[in-house]
Amino acid sequence: MIPQYPQQIITQPFANKGNIRVIPDGKQVQGQASYAEGFPVETQLPLSNGGIAPSRLDFNGILNVLSALGFWQQSGGQMIYKTNLNYTRPSVVHSNGRLWWCVGNNGPDAINGVVAPGTNANVWMDFMDFLTTGDGSTGSGRPGGAAVRPVGELIHFYGSTAPDGFLACDGSSFSATTYPQLAAFLGATVTPDLRGTVLRGLDIQGVRDPDGPSRHPGSYQGDAMRSLKGKFNADGPAEGVFVVEGSSNLRAAGMGIFLGSNTIFDASLQVPVADEFRMKNISVLICIKHD
């Protein structure tokens, strides 16, 4: 049959204001229900044969739990992660203010053991990352089955604070307990300080970066420019960055000096100057993925 949304909603858990008995995992009292046995066999026997009538409190207790779960889910509630439960792919839970997609079995009875969301990307994946990139193992997800975004990925963010899943690369300290994957990746608990810098591709062969063979990811290279040289020749034209126009190259007879005012070199007469060499730029926040 084709399922249909029920017309009657659950307005509150069953027996919400009634008497209930909390159902135990295993049988504790003769005639009472448990999750392991349900209603025990003695509740099926006639009272004349030693049977025990099923308890109203047990019925209320069971229906209360089931209807409470339905009431929660009907209202848009998501299951909260618990360390005493077992999870299998593709479970979705809520933990630490975020939704997590289970990509590896975990829990007290699983081979992976108890693995809390946010501590191992091979077991729990941020649900929003799954929706936008895929789950990394089957190529499923969006867009186009893209791979999982790795810890350590850098992004440029048009804002002053890092978005969810990222920390600002401003040299700040962070907690290895809160961000264990990033701490393991960096081998430190301080984010790279990329403030006021541009990124340059790693060139360990030195093809385009002369310092490349001695550099590593995160190494800093200060500003510089090619050497500019020039010379005024006593017996010939000026060289290099200097150029002499008109009669300014005349010399006093027999003397190796120029007539007129002193000659100076001032780049600010031609181009904007500052205390650094820089390109035209727009400021953005560089962030690093932490899990």
> With helix as H, strand as E and coil as C, how does 220-280 read?
CCCCCCCCCCEECCCCCCCEECCCCCHHHHCECCCCCCECCCCCCCCHHHCCCCCCCCCCC
pLDDT at 71 over 90: yes
Q: What is the pLDDT of residue 253?
A: 41
pLDDT at 249 over 80: no
pLDDT digits (tens, 9 = 90+) for 88-143: 988 999 998 899 999 899 999 999 999 999 999 889 998 988 777 654 444 443 44
Contacts of 22 (CB under 8 A, 6+ apart): 61
Q: Which of 4-8, 145-149, 263-267, 284-288 has the highest mean pLDDT?
A: 284-288
Q: Is residue 288 a contact partner of residue 164, using CB atoms and an 8 Å limit? A: no
CA–CA distance, 165 with 128 (Å, rounded to integer): 10
Q: What is the pLDDT of residue 133?
A: 63
pLDDT digits (tens, 9 = 90+) for 14-38: 999 999 999 999 999 999 999 999 9
Q: Which two tokens stand for residue 217?
A: 């990811």
Domain-by-domain residue ranges, the chain? 1-77, 78-149, 153-223+284-291, 229-275
**% of the chain exceeding 70 in pLDDT:** 87
Q: What is the pLDDT of residue 240?
A: 80
What pTM value is reported for the model? 0.48
> With helix as H, strand as E and coil as C, how does the chain read?
CCCCCCCCCCCCCCCCCCCCCCCCCCCCCCCCCECCCECCHHHCCCHHHCCCCCCHHHHHHHHHHHHHHHHHHHCCCCCECCCCCCECCCCEEEECCEEEEECCCECCCCCCCCCCCCCCCCCEEEHHHHHHHCCCCCCCCCCCCCCCCCCCCEEEECCCCCCCCEEECECCECCCCCCHHHHHHHCCCECCECCCCCCCCCCCCCCCCCCHHHCCCCCCCCCCCCCCCEECCCCCCCEECCCCCHHHHCECCCCCCECCCCCCCCHHHCCCCCCCCCCCCCCCEEEEECC
Q: What is the pLDDT of residue 48?
A: 92
Q: What is the pLDDT of residue 158?
A: 94
153-223+284-291 fold: 3.90.1340
User: What phi and psi values does residue 44 have, to the nearest 5 degrees?
Assistant: -95, -20
User: Using 50, 70 and 90 to split pLDDT, how confident is the model at 254?
Assistant: very low
User: Using 50, 70 and 90 to split pLDDT, how confident is the model at 7?
Assistant: confident
pLDDT at 264 over 60: yes
User: Using 50, 70 and 90 to split pLDDT, how confident is the model at 150?
Assistant: confident
pLDDT digits (tens, 9 = 90+) for 187-221: 999 999 999 999 989 999 999 999 999 999 989 99
Q: What is the pLDDT of residue 162?
A: 94
Q: What is the pLDDT of residue 262?
A: 62
pLDDT at 250 over 70: no
Q: Residue for token digits 């009292």? A: 29
Q: What is the pLDDT of residue 121?
A: 86
Alpha carbon separation from 67 to 10, 78, 85 (Å, rounded): 7, 15, 20
Alpha carbon separation from 23 to 10, 79, 85, 109, 228 (Å, rounded): 21, 20, 17, 22, 86
pLDDT at 51 over 50: yes
CA–CA distance, 269 with 279 (Å, rounded to integer): 19
Q: Which residue has the higher pLDDT, 192 or 240?
A: 192
Q: What is the pLDDT of residue 291?
A: 83
Dihedral sign computed on CA atoms, order 20, 22, 27, 28: negative
Q: What is the pLDDT of residue 139?
A: 41
